[in-house]
Structure 1
Amino acid sequence: MNGCSYIFYTPEYQYEGMPHGEMCGDLMPFYENGVYTFLYLYKYCIYAVETKDFVHYDNFRIVLQNGTPLEQDWHAATGSVCKCQGLYYFYYTGFCEGNRGEKGKYEQGILRAVSKDLLTWEKDKTFAFYPDEEHFAGRHWRDPHVFWNETEKKYMMLITACEKDGDKNRSGCTAVYVSDDILNWEYYDTICSPRIYPTMECQDCFELNGKWYLTYSSYEKQWETKYKIADSFHGPWITPMWDDKFDGRDFYAAKTVSDGKSRYLVGWQSIRKDCKNDGQYVWGGNVIVHELIQRENGELGVKLPDTIRQEFKIPLTHNIVPKCGKWDIGRVINGKAQDGFGHIEISPMKNVCMIKAVLRWTKETQAVGIMFHIDGARMEQWCQLRLEISHNKIVFERSGKTEKDQFFDEERPIHFRMEQYAEITLLTSNDIVVVYVDDVALCGRCYAYTAGHTGVFVEYGEVQIDEFEVFEGKEQNRIVKNSAE
């Protein structure tokens, strides 16, 4: 394999004209004995890779070969792994496009495979679970998520389904089936049917400190990974008032996994067509792992997993150069630009590095942020993370903006602290950018950029830089570079 096995895993290089399904798709994480196994979609089959720290990935292997065009799993797709009485059960989706419109056949069906060791899997040819048209429409029937519900003392299977008599693009719902033995299933309930989405894909469900969470992905507006909250598994499932997403529109099909102490959200970050900044989003990408945080009000935020943060320990030397605006350089750095934009370069950076900063601002300030990949005599190249204070949002921007299709700024809403400061962590890995502002994440892409420099900017106001460091990883030689470098 010629992909990346360092932090942002993917099985292949990016390249122009990369077809659908060549990168990681729909991660299905499973944890046991200190090892996270990520099953994922690749080339219409199911593959797996392992990690102990979300930094290094190995033991790449195929899990299930797809079937023939006459079999239900002509394309093997999303599901989940659950262990019962020493055996591992993988419930997954079988797509057979040739069945579309054929009487008595279904394009989507739920299938099962069994393993003794998570390495060798055998398809259970005796099992096929087709759409339950007594309770649901036969249109969508996929993404089985199986877990043990300690409250109900039963195995639960969540299924991406549609209301039986619902409107075509508003009938996405969560079907639930139950089992005592993980083998035989019966209808239980429909726990979430908001009449908003065409589907609620790649669902997951878990309890945390007395609250229940239902995560899912949808594409009614754009690719988004979302969640709902309830006081019990039965609902009602409520949408968080301020923000129901975990990341931006690059991040999709995420599911969670727990080691018994922390819970992580594992999804993929989309690549762009032809590896260009103005290219359309392409299905599949690199692995992104966020650690979930439960806020005081029960809503969820995310942070960078500690194991990834600990990988970046080698500081790069500062080279402070004020560029425009007024800057006072001391133990902390203060900057003013009352009439517009001001910025200061602080440090060179590497293609793979982590920037850690704490910024403060005055009440009237419109925006502050981090600049990175700065290059050129007239700053012809740059990327920036904007904290738009008055608009309560963070924005990822690049130089060279155009009006081409699919070229826009990634952004997320955020509640800035009343104390008017933010803790920022920014990771770059060639074209990948992942940002955390307090407990809000935003990922993006910046193709064909040189490493350049990094620094801070302010617009129409004042900024104080309490902390600003750039770190490279401890094992840079393990990186398999993306073609964007």
Structure 2
Amino acid sequence: MKGNRNIFYTPENQYPGMPHGEMCGDFMPFFWQGTFYLFYLYKYCVYAVETKDFVSFGEPYLVLQNGSPEDQDWHIGTGSVFEHEGIFYFHYTGFCESNHGVEEKNEQVVMRALSRDLKTWEKDLSFFFKPDARYYGNLHWRDPHVFWNEEIGKYCMLITATEKEGAYLRSGCTAVYVSEDVRNWERYKTLYAPRTFITHECHDCFQMGGKWYLSFSNYSRWWETRYRMADAFDGPYKVPEKDDMFDGREYYAAKSVTDGEKRYMVGWESIREGCKDSGRHLWGGNLLVHELTLRADGSLGVKLPEKIEKSFNTPLSIWPTERQGSLSGDADKIEVCAEDGFGWAELGRLKEICMFQTTITWEEGTRAAGLMIHADADLKKWCQLRLEFKHGRIEMDRYNRVDGDQQYLDERPVTFKGNSAQVKLVVSGNIMLVYVDDVALTARCYEIGVGSIGIFTEYGKIVCTDTQLLEQEKCEKTCATA
């Protein structure tokens, strides 16, 4: 297979008109003996790829083959992997769309497969978990997530379900079933039912710092992964006060995995139809991994995983060049001032795969600042990461939003601490991954091409320190296309 094997994994190169089945998505991460096994959906089957560092990846291999149109698992959907008494269990979703509305049949059923080596799997035909129509609706019944729950002393299975009654497209809920032997499952409770979303897809539940976190994805408005927090597994689960997402509107189906020391959110960054910046977002895309951090108030932040950051170890030249406004200082301390409007300085040339980082400090009253990405000298083309201080947010904007283009901006809320923020940008092909302190925002830029990196300010003055532009020491040609 040809695809991206460097950080933003995907088994297939993206191309205009790419069929739905060729995309990959819904990564199901499992850590075992020093290796992350990333199971994922691809061509209506389940494949897997292995990595030790989220930087480089092995060759993908088939895990579960989908069935025929008459089989319950005509299309295979999301699930989870765990180990019990030397056997690996993979609970997954069996989709058969032709069963919809057919009496005594189900469109979605929880199924499972067994393995002793994580590579060779055999479907367990004796396990067939249909929607529990006593308590839940008869359609949405998928994405089983199984884990050992120390707090209640049983295995828990989270299931994407809907309440039997409720407002249209607002009955999504998270059902929990429990087992002591992973063979017999009984209903425990409805863990979360806010009457807000169509469904809660690809959920996860884990502990950090003495609290429980329930994550889920939904497609009610855009691709999004959200989370809730509680003091105990049984809840109640509450919405974090300021921000309940891990990334922007294109980060989907993220599930967590831990190596015993750190915990990561493993999801995918959506691609756009036709490889165009104006195209609608489609299901599937590239692997996107964030390391979770715990804030003082118990909410979750994210950061670039350490091994990914350390893979960028070869400095590239920084040569501050005044473009608009005034520029002073040198590469160690870059000052840009434009009290009457917009000013920017070009700093260097981006590579196909590279990382840029800096610490931006701004004078009180400065309206906005940030990065000029893939920019040319006269700004005929550019992307812009905006830090909007008074509004408490970051945004990703593009040059071609003119003449009635009403597409939304990619944006995230940020609580700026003082008048300083650390900014990191990872570029890989058309992907732009940004961290502003512990907040992430990922977007794509298809139609501009590689350009320069710069900094800007609006109605004020900024100072940039600890500025670096780095590339990886080695990157095979097969790594280059994101």
For 1:370, the equivalent position in structure 2 comes to 371
For 1:192, the equivalent position in structure 2 comes to 192
Sort the Cα spacing of 1:406 and 1:275 in 2 relative to 1 into closer, same or farther, 3 A.
Answer: farther
For 1:292, the equivalent position in structure 2 comes to 292
For 1:440, the equivalent position in structure 2 comes to 439
Which of structure 1's runs of 4+ aligned residues deviate more than 4 A?
Answer: 402-406
Matched, 1:234 2:225: no
Query: Distance between the aligned counterparts of 1:43 and 1:310, measured in 2?
Result: 33
For 2:76, the equivalent position in structure 1 comes to 76
- Three-state SS of the structure 2 residue aligned to 1:11 is coil
Q: Give CA deviations for 1:348-386 in whole Å, capped at 9, x if unaligned.
A: 1211100011000011000000112112x5221211110
Query: Distance between the aligned counterparts of 2:268 and 2:127, measured in 1?
Result: 30
Q: Give CA deviations for 1:238-258 in whole Å, capped at 9, x if unaligned.
A: 001111001001110100000
Task: Give the letter for the 2:41 counterpart.
Answer: L
Task: Give the letter for the 1:480 counterpart.
Answer: C
Task: Give the letter for the 2:346 counterpart.
Answer: E
TM-score in terms of structure 2 length: 0.98
Matches within 5 A, 1:425-436: 425-436=424-435
Query: Distance between the aligned counterparts of 2:63 and 2:402, measured in 1?
Result: 43
Matched, 1:407 2:410: no
Task: Give the letter for the 1:96 counterpart.
Answer: C
For 1:471, the equivalent position in structure 2 comes to 470
Sort the Cα spacing of 1:10 and 1:215 in 2 relative to 1 into closer, same or farther, 3 A.
Answer: same
Query: Distance between the aligned counterparts of 1:22 and 1:233, measured in 2?
Result: 37
- Three-state SS of the structure 2 residue aligned to 1:307 is helix
**Is the Cα–Cα contact under 8 Å of residues 45 and 76 in structure 1 kept in the other structure?**
yes
**Is the Cα–Cα contact under 8 Å of residues 369 and 386 in structure 1 kept in the other structure?**
yes
- Three-state SS of the structure 2 residue aligned to 1:240 is coil
**Is the Cα–Cα contact under 8 Å of residues 372 and 385 in structure 2 kept in the other structure?**
yes
Matches within 5 A, 1:58-457: 58-330=58-330, 331-375=332-376, 377-402=377-402, 407-417=407-417, 419-457=418-456
Task: Give the letter for the 1:465 counterpart.
Answer: C
- Three-state SS of the structure 1 residue aligned to 2:476 is helix
5+ residue gaps, structure 1, are none
**Is the Cα–Cα contact under 8 Å of residues 320 and 334 in structure 2 kept in the other structure?**
no
- Three-state SS of the structure 2 residue aligned to 1:58 is coil
Deviation at 1:479?
4.2
**Is the Cα–Cα contact under 8 Å of residues 280 and 405 in structure 1 kept in the other structure?**
no
Moved more, 254-263 or 468-477: 468-477
Query: Distance between the aligned counterparts of 1:162 and 1:405, measured in 2?
Result: 37
Query: Distance between the aligned counterparts of 1:291 and 1:406, measured in 2?
Result: 33
- Three-state SS of the structure 2 residue aligned to 1:282 is strand
Query: Distance between the aligned counterparts of 1:165 and 1:408, measured in 2?
Result: 33
- Three-state SS of the structure 2 residue aligned to 1:390 is coil
Task: Give the letter for the 1:253 counterpart.
Answer: A
TM-align CA RMSD: 1.3
- Three-state SS of the structure 2 residue aligned to 1:160 is strand
Query: Distance between the aligned counterparts of 2:195 and 2:407, measured in 1?
Result: 30
Deviation at 1:168?
3.0
Query: Distance between the aligned counterparts of 1:407 and 1:38, measured in 2?
Result: 33
**Is the Cα–Cα contact under 8 Å of residues 170 and 196 in structure 1 kept in the other structure?**
yes
Task: Give the letter for the 1:254 counterpart.
Answer: A
Task: Give the letter for the 1:211 counterpart.
Answer: K
Task: Give the letter for the 1:481 counterpart.
Answer: A
Deviation at 1:449?
2.7
Query: Distance between the aligned counterparts of 1:70 and 1:333, measured in 2?
Result: 65
For 1:460, the equivalent position in structure 2 comes to 459
**Is the Cα–Cα contact under 8 Å of residues 227 and 239 in structure 2 kept in the other structure?**
yes
Structure 1 vs Structure 2: percent identity of aligned residues?
51
- Three-state SS of the structure 2 residue aligned to 1:450 is coil
Query: Distance between the aligned counterparts of 1:451 and 1:178, measured in 2?
Result: 51
- Three-state SS of the structure 1 residue aligned to 2:60 is strand
Aligned residues: 481
Q: Give CA deviations for 1:126-158 in whole Å, capped at 9, x if unaligned.
A: 111000011111121000000000111110000
Q: Give CA deviations for 1:192-244 in whole Å, capped at 9, x if unaligned.
A: 11111110110000111210000000122211100000000000000011110
Query: Distance between the aligned counterparts of 2:405 and 2:175, measured in 1?
Result: 36
- Three-state SS of the structure 2 residue aligned to 1:476 is coil
Task: Give the letter for the 1:91 counterpart.
Answer: H
5+ residue gaps, structure 2, are none
Deviation at 1:401?
1.9
Task: Give the letter for the 1:340 counterpart.
Answer: G
Q: Give CA deviations for 1:293-324 in whole Å, capped at 9, x if unaligned.
A: 01010000000000000000111012221111
Deviation at 1:59?
3.5
Matched, 1:32 2:32: yes
**Is the Cα–Cα contact under 8 Å of residues 363 and 460 in structure 2 kept in the other structure?**
yes
Task: Give the letter for the 1:425 counterpart.
Answer: K
**Is the Cα–Cα contact under 8 Å of residues 268 and 286 in structure 1 kept in the other structure?**
yes
Deviation at 1:166?
2.2
Task: Give the letter for the 1:237 counterpart.
Answer: Y
Query: Distance between the aligned counterparts of 2:339 and 2:412, measured in 1?
Result: 26
